[in-house]
Structures are given as structure tokens and as C-alpha cells.
Chain A
Amino acid sequence: MHVGIIFLLVIIGSVLFHIFTPWYWTDIASNWSGMDDTITLTFWVGGGVFVAVCLFMIYCVFRYSHKEDRRAEYKPEDKKLEKILTWATTLGVAALLAPGLIIWNQYVNVPKNAIEVDVMAWQWGWQYRLPGADGKLGTTQVRNIADNNPFGINPDDPFGRDDIMVESDVINLENNRPVKILLRSVDVLHNWYVPQFRAKMDAVPGTVTFYWFEPNKVGEYEVLCAEYCGVGHYAMRGGVEVQDKADYEVWLSEQETFEQLSARYEKLNVDGNKLAKK
């Protein structure tokens, strides 16, 4: 008797916990509310199945506990019942899979007007690069990385000259404009993850990966590394500041281009040589 009651309390407790939990997702700040909706749907369907199965089990425990003078039913199988259950389950699973795939289709197809952001990761930090006036990022190579070329841009690539360098772990984004995050790593796996945007993808050395989202809430957000990358993993943070168009453009105009950075280093070199000669 008490066995069934304890199991029943566990199930009731689980449902109550879900309803009253103070621990739930952060306020969404991107276009991926479809992910939240699919989670909610899966909660309803899956949670319903969980509760139903457990309640049936508890009913059996109450109703069919051992009695010396009773015998269990002898019925090896029930084809009709098994068939009904198979099809009902298949339908339920398909109903959950469909929205999942539809949203994935959106996730892998980046809108044409998305601004590309090169997110470069290393142990343990982030830096960012935006396309310049030509709207295109220059190509890069790990071997090119140096003090005067922190992103490893190919010096011969004309698209790279006007690229905007953000040598900070905080990047600013324009509100309501889709962003295509291009992920690179120079050493090990990393993952650029902002819980409020819901989206994430690993940065893999040797290749460029991507995902996209559209921030839709002005504010500051914390970036977490979501793929284990060695002993500094937990401390590998960054930031995002989502701004309105006007503020964003002010910020953008204050950033240095690759050309300006190269010139600055050349001047440093020249000055250094002069000093050396004196």
C-alpha cells in the first residue's frame, strides 16, 4: 500500500515542481522562439506519456498486489493492443519530429541579409571581425596570425583590407538584424553560446562553422564557452551588446579596420627603427 502512495507522491511532486519551478529558461532575446515552443510541446506530449505510464504502473501496484488465493491472468500476447500502441506511439513521435525538423530547416538556411561576424576563439578567449564597406570578410589562415594581423587575414585578399577588427571579448550587434556567426578556432574546440539567444555551434580548428540568429532585445548578454576546451573552459567568457541601429553605427565607426591596424604597426615599426638609430 505505502509503496504505491510513495510512487504517486513522486509523480505528483514532479508535476508540481514543473509548474512552480523558479528555475526555467531565461527571457528569450532572439528569433528562436520556435525552439521554446517545440520544447513546450514536447513537455506536454512527453510529460503526458510519463504521467500516464507511471499512473498505470501505480494502479497495477494498488490493484494487483500479491494475494495467495489469486492467480494472475494467463495471456501471452494481445496483437490488437500491441498494434494500437505501436501506431499511437509512431503518430506521437512524428508529431514531435515535424516541428523539430521545420525549425532545423530554418536554422541551417541563413537569411540573405544577415551580417557576417567572424568569431575567433582560442584558449581562452574570443575576438571578433566584421566585414567592412564591401560587405565581405577577407579569407584567413592560422599561419598568418601575428601581432600586426591578429585574425590571420590573407594580406593579398582585397576583401580583407577594410575588415573591422574588434579586439575585445565583447561584440556589439544591431537589434533586429540577422547575424551569421562564422566560428573559427586556432587551437581546440570551443562553442560561442548565449543562453538568451538559444542558438549554439562548436568552433572547430581547421574549418569554419556557422549558425544564425536575429537578436530582438536591446541589452547586454554574457557569452559562455559551451564546448569543453581545457582547464580554462569555465572562465572563457565574453559579451554581446545588442544596440539600436543609431547606437550601433556610432560604435561601428569607432572600430579599427585591418588597414588602419596595419598602418599603425608600420608606424610603430618606423618609430621603433628611428629610436634604434638614435
Chain B
Amino acid sequence: MSDEYDNNKSYQAQSSEVMDGSTGSVNPDIDYVRPAEVGEQDLYHGHSFIEKWVFCQDAKVIGVQYFLTAVFTGIVGLILSWLMRLQLGFPELAGFMTAEHYYQFVTMHGMIMVVYFLTALFLGGFGNYLIPLMVGARDMVFPYVNMLSFWMFFVAVAVLMASFFVPGGPTGAGWTLYPPQTILEGTPGSGMGILLMLISLSLFVIGFTMGGLNYMITILQARTRGMTLMRMPLTVWGIFTATVLAMLAFPALLVSAIMMTLDKVLQTSFFMPTILKAGEVLEYGGGSPILFQHLFWFFGHPEVYIVALPAFGIVSDLISVHARKNIFGYRMMVWAIVGIGGLSFFVWAHHMYVSGMNPWFGFFFATTTLIIAVPTAMKVYNWILTLWRGNIRINTVMLWCLGFIVTFVNGGITGIFLGNVSVDVPLSDTYFVIAHFHMVMGIAPLMVIMGAVYHWFPLVAGKMLHEGLGKWHFWITFLGAYSIYFPMHYLGFIGVPRRYFEMYDSPYMTSAVGMNEFISIAAFIVGAAQFILVFNIIKTLKTGKKAEQNPWKANSLEWYTSTVPPEHGNFGERLPVVHRWPYDFSVPGAKDDFIPQTTAPSEVIHTEVEKT
């Protein structure tokens, strides 16, 4: 690898100049790092409580704000899933629930978990907290806009939650919001509910654009000296690529939300054909419901990777640190992230094989979809090859990473079923799909989030979370979630359709009752187990063990701040200077089994470290 990195050219050129020009010195300045091209950023430090903790411009505080708001929506989503599982497993106990309620819960659960929980948590939460720290910046480049981004998200969440309290309740159109039913009578919440949903989504996109610009430009423009793109931690690569995807994909959601609002309010017909309802022909005509689906999935499929890519990046870093081994095939990992991101814009219609679009599209989209499996598989291989010949700490963080690998591979494989057009025909719209996407973009990213929480909590709070509680949390969550979703695939094989309020009068489905009860019980337990983490955090904040600086012995810059937790401005007087990638673990000849990114080459001259 030594001669592979292009970005070393400047450094090599510099050394040869010194060799030639100086008076016979054989010790070139190997520690040379190109000077910064941009001056340092002036920061606005808050003076009052409100400026420090509410309308704060510090990306770390904004990150925590995003995190907490997203977790709040996640808890709402969790409670909704309990209610759904109560109806599906024990309908006799759910007498209070009508079909309207059920569909409203299904819809809100889906939308909350995908957009307001996972997307906001990964990009708004981890992105804000980690990007400036990991690239060696003092803050995001536009701190004020960054603050607005969070508050726009906050308003979007408030509007979304308000829809629970309007006449008719929240929309029950399914999270995909397919017209025409979304805005017609016969779907719960087709009045105020859907309007608030569309407004909330639009606000989310606006707020997210403000944040996304920050993440992208900070990564491109505000990296510290020596932090070349190919020395960035994979966490940053994942978040960066996901943000680019979001910037390109969310506009499609925004225009479809605007058009649907017009169809609803002004009776335009973007998505509405001639419709006969209750014997009356409505005042619509000529619109295309399938057009909406194309727009929605043009957003919706990249959205899957907006959640997955940050998870890929973060888990790579966690595995590398805790296996005490460099991530295997770093450059392959970077190109896989970028490649998956690019390909994700060419696969959207695999959600629409049986939608009634021209069936010839199926050939194209099945092929692109299965191509994306190749870079994804490479990432999986590289994760397990990072474990191979490592020195693996089996701690809570690593447990979540191992759980991620199992659930992600499982969900990835079932994706090959659904992506392969004719195999999708019998399985689409059944519980197989539910099981697949919960495994691959619900549980797997959640495993990464949990691992990341245990990993970075010492940095954020300066205290170590309790390991014992963490292990209980992991095992209940992993075993429970696996036993929810693994058997659920088989309901799909029977042919049990999704989005059925109740279904078991079909003769060949009676055998599914027992499994539904089992799944529901597992869901109650897994949901409740998440409060172990809440308890752990509260207990740790009160009485937990104080964390030493860099407790995991990691190399990346966030652990080398002037204080723990880092203050506003992150790095004290001087910004760090970076000399290497963040994965120099267990280098032969080095004193410790890790070499921080800030360690100059002259300090590790006798080791066999490779140039990065």
C-alpha cells in the first residue's frame, strides 16, 4: 500500500526538495504537513443559558439536541409498534382499536422511524457531533444555519405530533402515502392529518437541507492540516456520502409533497385520475398515481442508504478500534460507500415491480439492484476480515457490532430475493417484505446506533456507561429482535399480506396465529429492554465511573480534544495536525498498539508503519 496513496505526493515532493537543496542532510523533514489554506474560523460563544443550550450554535450541542428529539420520536414510534403488535397478536385485548386506529399507527410508526428517527439521528445527531471533531474543525462552517436546521426539524416534529390531535387524527395512508387513497375519504386522516404530514415533511426537508449543506461543506472545506480525504475515518465518509444522497433525493420528496398538497387543497390532478366514489365521479382527471410512486421511491430508495451508509461508516470504525486492527481494505471501503451511494439512484423502481408500471422496466431495475449487492458484500467481507487475526475486545460495543453483522447479512440476503424481480412477485406486499426491511434498515442500523452510543458516551458525557447493563441490553435486544423478524419471513411465504388489520379467517393462515402471538410477545420485551439504556444513562450520569481521556485507545481526532467532554471550539489553542489515517493499530515495533492520527512520522521512525 505504501506507494499507492496519491495524496502523499506533496509530502514526497517536499522531502526530495529538502534532500536536494539542503546541505547534505539525510534526514528530510518527514513531519512536514502542507500549511492550511483557509484561516481559522471565528466562533460565536453563547453567553446566556438560552444561547448555550437552546438556540446554540455549537455543533456538539446541536447534535445532542437532534439526538434527543429523534429519540423522543423513536419512543413514540416504539409505542405505536407495541399497539400494532397487540392488535396482531392479541386482538381480543385490543378491543379499543379500530381499523382506522391501526392504519394510523402503521403509518405514523413507519414515517417516524424512517425519517424522523433514523435519518435525524444519524445525520443530525452523529453527523453534527462527530464531523467537526473527526475532521479537526472547530465547528460546522455555518453555525447559525446549523442552529436553524435543528429548530426547523423541531417544528417539523411538533407539526407531526400535532396531527395526532386534529379532527380525524393523523394520516393512515401508509408511510408511502400512495395516492389516490391518501387524500380520499375511506383512508383515515385524509383531511387535516395528511395535510399536517405533508407540511411536516416539507419542513423536515428544508431544515435538513440547511444541516446537509453544513455537513458537506465542513467536510470538503474545513478539514485540518494533513487531513486528506483518504485519511478521514469511514464514519465521516459514510455521513458525507449519505448527505450528498439526501441533498439529491429529498427534493423529490418535497415536490411530491407539494403536488399532493395541491391535489388535496386545490383539486389539481397531478396524481389523480378520473375517480368514481360512492356513485359520484370526482372532480379529478388525467393524473397518474404511478408518477407519485416514481417520485416517492426516487427519494425513498436513496433514503434507505441515507440511513445505511452512516451505519456502515460508524460500524467500520467501531470494529477497527475494538478489534485493535486497521480496517481491512480501507480504500475498497471508501469506494464501496461512494459506489453504493451512486448506484442507489438507479434502483428505485425495484419497489414497484408489481405497481403496474411498464413491466419491461423490471429487467433494468433487477439488474441494477443485484449489481449493488457486490459492493455491499465487499463491505461485509472487509468487516469480518478486520476481525480476522485481530485482538478483539468482546465488550458491549463489539457485541453490537457483531449483532449488526448478523442482522445486516441476514437482511441483505433477503434483499436479493426481493430485488430479483420475478422472485419479488409472490413475496411483495407480504410479511416477507416487512421482515426484510426491518432486519436490514431497522435492526441493523439500530445495532450500530447502540454500539455508537456505548462507544462515544464517554466523550459526550465524560463517564463510562455500565458494561453489565449494556450486555443485558444487547442480548435481550439482539435475541429478541432476531426472533421477531427471522420467523416473520415465513409468514410472507405463506402469503400473509402486509397492512392487514386482521386476517386469520383464511383457512391456510390459521397456523400463523401462534407465530403472531410469539412475535408480539418478543416485540413487547425488546421494546421494554430499550429502557435499560435509558436507566443506564441516568445512572451513569449520576454515579458512573469517570472516563479517562481516550478510554478505548482510539486514533481518530475526536479523542484528542483539549478537554473531555470537548468545549466549544473543540481543540483548545491549536488545531491538531494530521499525519496518518486513523487505523494504525497494532503496528509492529510501536510501543502501544495504537498510533494517534496526530503522531508525527519522526516519533514512530522505528516502526513498520505504512504511509497513508
Contact = CB atoms under 8 A, between A and B. Distances in A.
A101 B425 CA distance: 12
Contacts of B402: 3, 7, 57, 61
A202 B420 contact: no
A205 B275 contact: yes
Contact of B390 (A32, A72, A96, A228): A72
A96 B370 contact: yes
A60 to B, nearest CB: 4
A199 B425 contact: yes
A77 B3 CA distance: 13
A204 B373 contact: no
Given A3-B394, A46-B417, A231-B103, A77 B328 contact: yes
A66 B328 CA distance: 18
A143 interface: yes
A219 B430 CA distance: 23
Contacts of A93: 370-371, 373-374, 416
A101 B475 contact: no
A103 to B, nearest CB: 4
B324 A35 contact: no
Nearest to B289: A204
A195 B290 contact: no
A155 interface: no
Interface residues of B, number: 114
A34 B362 CA distance: 17
B265 interface: no
B610 interface: yes
Given A93-B374, A226-B429, A234 B610 contact: no
A115 interface: no
A100 B384 CA distance: 29
A73 interface: yes
Interface string B274-302: 11110001000011111000000000000
B381 A85 contact: yes
Interface in B169-215: 172-174, 178, 180-181, 184, 186-188
Given A85-B381, A142-B274, A191-B354, A71 B288 contact: no
A234 B417 contact: no
B392 A25 contact: no
A177 interface: no
A252 interface: no
A227 interface: yes
A74 B387 contact: no
B125 to A, nearest CB: 28
Contacts of B51: none
Contacts of A232: 99, 186
B370 A57 contact: no
Contact of B429 (A61, A77, A193): A193
A104 B286 CA distance: 30
A125 interface: no
A5 interface: no
A74 B608 contact: yes
A108 interface: yes
Interface residues of A, number: 97
Interface string B372-389: 011001101110110111
A72 B585 contact: yes
B32 interface: no
B356 A183 contact: yes
Contact of B180 (A108, A183, A187, A196): A187
A61 B389 CA distance: 10
A214 B538 CA distance: 62
Contacts of B382: 82
A32 B378 CA distance: 33
Contacts of A89: 373-374, 377-378
A207 interface: yes
Q: Which residue, B389, B426, B490, has most C-beta atoms of chain A within 10 A? A: B426
Contact of A200 (B174, B384, B429, B479): B429
Given A22-B511, A107-B425, A205-B275, A96 B391 contact: no
B174 A101 contact: no
B525 interface: no
Interface string A10-52: 1100100100011111100000101110110010001101100
A202 B381 contact: no
Interface stretch (B71-79, B309-317, B329-337): B329-337
A204 B588 CA distance: 65
Nearest to B474: A3
Interface stretch (B10-18, B218-226, B403-411): B403-411
B487 to A, nearest CB: 7
B228 to A, nearest CB: 15
A72 B429 contact: no
Interface in A96-155: 96-97, 100-101, 103-105, 107-108, 122-123, 142-143, 145
B469 interface: no
Given A64-B392, A193-B497, A230-B186, A38 B420 contact: yes
A165 interface: no
Interface string B573-612: 0000000000101111000010000000000000010101
B501 interface: yes
A101 B503 contact: no
Contacts of A26: 494-495, 508
B391 A70 contact: yes
A240 interface: no
A104 B187 contact: no
A207 to B, nearest CB: 7
Interface in B146-184: 172-174, 178, 180-181, 184
A53 B413 CA distance: 11
Contact of B329 (A3, A36, A50, A77): A77
Nearest to B104: A231
Given A188-B181, A206-B289, A64 B387 contact: yes
A262 B483 CA distance: 58
B289 to A, nearest CB: 6
A204 to B, nearest CB: 4
Q: Which residue, A39, A104, A222, A225, has most C-beta atoms of chain B within 10 A? A: A104
B492 to A, nearest CB: 9
B421 A100 contact: yes
B524 interface: no
A191 B275 CA distance: 17
Given A187-B181, A193-B495, A228-B103, 5 more contacts: A23-B490, A103-B422, A189-B289, A200-B428, A231-B187
Ordered nearest first, which 6 A-B pairs have the shortest CB separation?
A: A206-B273, A195-B495, A100-B420, A209-B356, A188-B181, A72-B325
14 contacts: A35-B425, A57-B387, A61-B402, A97-B366, A97-B420, A108-B360, A123-B186, A142-B281, A187-B277, A193-B429, A195-B508, A204-B355, A222-B507, A230-B184
Interface of B: 1, 99-100, 103, 172-174, 178, 180-181, 184, 186-188, 273-277, 281, 286-290, 323-326, 328-332, 354-356, 359-360, 362-363, 366-367, 370-371, 373-374, 377-378, 380-382, 384-385, 387-394, 399, 402, 405-406, 409-410, 413-414, 416-417, 420-423, 425-430, 475, 479, 482, 486-487, 490-491, 493-495, 497-503, 506-508, 511-512, 515, 583, 585-588, 593, 608, 610, 612
